[in-house]
A and B are shown apart, each in its own frame.
Chain A
Amino acid sequence: QVQLQESGPGLVKPSQTLSLTCTVSGGSINSGSHYWSWIRQPAGKGLEWIGRIYFSGSTNYNPSLKSRVTISVDTSKNQFSLKLTSMTAADTAVYYCARDKLGDVGVNWGQGTLVTVSS
């Protein structure tokens, strides 16, 4: 069974760049049947799709975040990553990585990692 695990800093200063990594186990990130997504959830609020990547490097981003987001993939490490620049308090949230099956988003999810933006 595929498992996903997010890793990265829990605290980021305002204006800095967030870097998170999702490590995939129990399945290959090279699978042509899957995309790999990042989704976030502020405390007490709903889910927001950030974007996703295919193993080839092809990406889709949420237009509201597109100017600040980069999602990349490292097939040799079976990982994909999120970079979000110019962080503000509004970016404080639990960040989830997920495996999609083609058009179906979030077939499998990581446990999530809380990122707080504060000086």
Chain B
Amino acid sequence: QSVLTQPPSVSAAPGQKVTISCSGSSSNIGNNYVSWYQQLPGTAPKLLIYDNDKRPSGIPDRFSGSKSGTSATLGIAGLQTGDEADYYCGAWDSSLTTGLFVFGSGTKVSVL
């Protein structure tokens, strides 16, 4: 059972926009930064968004991140077939005295 909850799947036609939600609590998303990762089939995850809304160098601005309260959202605009992948959110959880990084349950994006 993941601490961070994501929808199992989302889909849209090419060129459309999809959003993926990530729901947590005050001990994780509510008081810590959120990251997002893209995992293409058969490959290692790649960092897409860090510190809620920042994109690493080389990540297109079609990918966007936001956070409000204990939830975060990843947006993918201008959907392309190459965006078909699993997407995970992640955040530090401060509920224990020791640091724990938690991932979301993952969302599969399909391009119709």
Contacts and interface: CB of A to CB of B under 8 A. Distances in A.
B90 interface: yes
Interface string A95-109: 010000101111111
Contact of B47 (A48, A96, A106, A111): A106
A76 B72 CA distance: 40
Contacts of B43: 111
Among B56, B101, B102, B104, the one with the most A-chain Cβ atoms within 10 Å of its Cβ is B101
Interface in A16-32: none
A60 B101 CA distance: 10
B11 interface: no
A46 B45 contact: no
Nearest to A100: B101
* Interface bracket on A: 20 to 34
Interface string B36-57: 0100000111110011000010
A96 B51 CA distance: 22
A89 interface: no
A105 B98 contact: no
Contacts of B106: 46-47
Given A46-B2, A46-B104, A46-B105, A104 B99 contact: no
B100 A107 contact: no
Contact of B44 (A52, A60, A105, A112): A112
B63 interface: no
Interface string B72-110: 000000000000000010101000101111111110000
Given A107-B50, A111-B43, 15 more contacts: A46-B104, A49-B103, A61-B98, A63-B98, A96-B44, A96-B45, A104-B33, A104-B35, A104-B51, A105-B90, A108-B47, A109-B45, A109-B46, A110-B44, A111-B44
